[in-house]
A and B are shown apart, each in its own frame.
Chain A
Amino acid sequence: MSYLSTTDFADDPAFVDRFKRNMKGDLDLSWMKVERERPTCRPLNERRGLTFRDLDVQGYGFSEMPELIRGNRSFAPRGATMPEGLPDLQADVNRKSDVWAYNVEGYYEEAMTRQWNTTTDIPWADLDRAELPEEIGKAYAQLLTFLTEVEMIATDVPAKWMGRLNADFFEVKNFIATQAMDEARHAEVFRKRALTTGWGLMRASLHNEHNLKFLRDADSFAESSLTLHLQAEGMVLTLFRFSEYIAPTEADKKLFRLVMQDEARHVGYGMQHLKWVMDNAPDKREIIHRHLDEAENFVFGAGYATEVLEPFIILAGKGLKKENIEQGVRITNAFQLKQTEEYFERLAKCGLPERRERSRLWKFVELNRQAVANLAA
C-alpha cells in the first residue's frame, strides 16, 4: 500500500458534516451547476450503431485534441470538468503523435464486433477425426508451442502500456485493450490446439524469447508499437496465412483464419500509427530506423531459429523424407520472401520507402536464395 490518502475521512469535520447534511436531504448540487457543452450524438449509420466516431464532437471529441496533453494528468475522462486537486498520474505518454493512428476509433469498433470464442467457435470435435502422422503432429505441436510463446508476450505488451497512456487517449487505450484480449485468445487457442495434437507443448525457443524480451522492453510506446504492431505482427500475419495454407485440417484452417483477422487489425493500427508519426513528427525518422536496425536483427534470430524453421519445412513439405524436405524448403523460402516483401511494402506505404535499402534483412533473403539454389543443384 504505497499510496496513502492525505485525509482521514472519518475524522475530517468538513467531510463528515457534508455527509450528514446530504443524508438529511440538504444536497450540495454544485456538480449539477457546472457549465457544460451539451453534445448531440446520433449514429451516422444506424445499421452500424453508435460509434466512437459519432462522439467526435466539441471538447469530447478526438479530432481537436492537441499534440501535447498538458491539461489532464488524471483519470478524468476527456471532456469532463476537472476539480482542483485531482491526482497527477504521471502518465508516460502525453504526446498524441506517440500513440495516435488514423482510424483508431474504427479499428476499435471493428475489434469489438469481430470478437470470437476459442472454446465454442473452433470445431474441436472434428479434430477427433484427424489423425496426423507422427512427424506432422510433432512439427505442428512445435509450431503451436512457438505461437503460444509469441502470443503471451503480445498480450503482455499492450497491457503493460495501457495504464501508462494519458487518459485523454481514450480510443487508443480501448483499442489496445481489445488487442490484449485478442492476443490472450490467441495464446489460448494455440495452447489448446497444441494439447489436442496429442503431442502437447514441445520446446520453448531461446532465440525467439530474446526477441520477445526486446519487444517487451522497448523504451517508449512508439518503439513498442513499431516493433509489435508493424514489424512482429506484420510478419506473424504472413506466418498465419502460411499456417492456414499448410494447416492439416479444416478446423485448423478456420483457427488460422480467425487469428489472422485479429492480427491484420493490429497491423492496420500499426500502419496507421506510423503514418501518423511520419505526418506529424517526421523528425523521428532516424530514431525509427535505428530501432528497426536492431529489431530486424532480433527477428531474423527468432524467425530462422531451428525450432521455428524446421517445423515449417516439415509441414510445408508434408513429411521428413528427402523429397518432402526439399519441397518444404522451397515452400518455406517462398514464404519468407513473401513475408519480407510485405514488411517492406507496409513500411513504404507508411512513408519509409528507404528502409528497403537500409535493411540488412535482404542479406538473409540472399542466404535463402543461395540455399534453394544449392538444393536445386
Chain B
Amino acid sequence: MPVAFPSLEFFQVLQREVAAERERFSRLGFFDTTFGVRVIQDGESADFTLAFEVFDCVRVADGIDPGVDFLIEGPLQAWKGMLDNIHELGAADTEHSLNTLTHFGESLKVRYDDPDGHDKLYRFAESVQEWLDLSARVDFGYSDGTTPPAPRDVARRAAR
C-alpha cells in the first residue's frame, strides 16, 4: 500500500529504512541533528520534524519543533523533482543532490536562525543525502495524485 508524500507515514517508513541500514549509517558516523521539512502546496504547508541521534532516526513528528537546527523548505514541485530522480535512479544524480538543490535557494531553501545549526546540514551532509536516497525504496505517491517514475535499471550507488 503506497504512502503519500508529504505525510508523517512517509517519514516513518524512511525512519524504518534507516533502522534497517544501521551498519551503513554507523559507518557514516554520529548523526546528531534535529531539522524540519516543509512542503508547500497551494499556499498550504505540510511540516515535519526529523530527529537523528547517534546513528538512528529517533523521532519523526508533525509540525516544526522550536529550535530545529535548520529547515528545508520548498514547493511540492521541487520536492517531486528530487524524489522522482532518486526513485528513478536509486540515488540523486548530479543535478538533484540536496546541496545542489538548496545551494542558492533556487529550488529548495534552507532556513535557520543559528549559523551553527545551519552548518550541521554540512557536518552531516552525506548522512542526510543517504537518508534521502533511501526514499528510492519507498512505495509512495504524491498528494497531487501523481506517482514517481518507475526505477530504471542503471548501475550506480543505489540505495536499494
- Assuming the A-B contacts A110-B123, A271-B116, are A334 and B99 also in contact, with contact meaning beta carbons closer than 8 angstroms in the complex? no
Residues of B contacting A47 with CB < 8 Å? 53-56
- Nearest CB of chain A from residue B100's CB, rounded to whole Å: 5
Quick one: which of B100, B103, B119, B126 contacts A254, CB cutoff 8 A?
A: B126
Chain B residue with minimal CB distance to A107?
B123
Within the complex, which residue of B55, B91, B122 is in contact with A237, where a contact is CB–CB below 8 Å? B122
Collect the chain B residues with CB atoms within 8 Å of residue A309's CB. Answer: none
A-B pairs, 4 with minimum CB distance = A114-B29, A113-B29, A264-B122, A264-B123
Contact with A along B117-153 (1 / 0, CB 8 A): 0011011111001000000000000000000000000
Roughly how many angstroms separate A88 CA and B55 CA in the complex, as a whole number? 43
Dominant SS among interface residues on chain A: helix
Known contacts A253-B94, A261-B123, A261-B124; is A244 also within 8 Å of B29 by CB?
A: no
Does A268 belong to the interface (CB within 8 Å)? yes
| Closest A residue by C-beta to B32 | A110
- C-beta contact mask, A250-290 vs B, less than 8 Å → 1, else 0? 10011011101101110110011000000000000000000
Q: Which residues of A contact B (CB under 8 A)?
A: 45, 47-48, 109-110, 113-115, 123, 126, 237, 240-242, 244-245, 247-250, 253-254, 256-258, 260-261, 263-265, 267-268, 271-272, 331, 334, 338, 342, 345-346, 349
Contacts A265-B123, A267-B119, A342-B115; A245 near B29 (Cβ below 8 A): no
Q: Is the CB of B97 within 8 A of A48?
A: no
6 new A-B contacts at CB < 8 Å, known A249-B94, A264-B119: A47-B53, A110-B29, A253-B94, A267-B119, A272-B116, A349-B116
A258 to B123, CA, bound (A): 9
**Nearest opposing residue in chain A for B121, CB measure:** A264
> Known interface pairs A244-B97, A244-B100, A257-B97. Does A113 touch B30 (Cβ–Cβ under 8 Å)?
yes
Are B103 and A253 in touch, CB under 8 angstroms?
no
Q: Which listed residue, A113, A247, A271, touches B115 by the CB 8 Å rule?
A: A271
- CB-defined contacts of B124 to chain A, threshold 8 Å: 261
Smallest distance from the beta carbon of B158 to chain A beta carbons, Å? 11
Residue of B nearest to A114 (CB): B29
Cα distance A48–B126 in the bound complex, in angstroms: 19
Q: Which residues of B contact A113 (CB under 8 A)?
A: 29-30
B127 shortest CB reach to chain A, Å: 8
Cβ A268 vs Cβ B99 within 8 A: no
Q: Which residues in A have their C-beta under 8 angstroms from that of B54?
A: 45, 47-48
Tell me the bound Cα distance from A331 to B106 in angstroms: 12
CB nearest to A267 among chain B residues: B119
Chain B positions within 8 Å of A249 at CB level: 94
Indicate whether A261 sits within 8 Å of B125 (C-beta atoms), given known contacts A242-B103, A250-B93.
Answer: yes
A241 near B126: Cβ-Cβ < 8 Å: no
**In this complex, what residue of A is CB-closest to B112?**
A345
Residues in B whose Cβ lies below 8 Å from that of A345: 115
B100 touches which of A110, A245, A331, A342 (Cβ 8 Å): A245
- Provide a sorted-by-A list of 14 A–B residue pairs whose CB atoms are within 8 angstroms: A110-B29, A114-B28, A244-B97, A245-B100, A250-B156, A253-B99, A253-B100, A257-B99, A260-B125, A261-B126, A265-B123, A268-B119, A334-B104, A349-B114
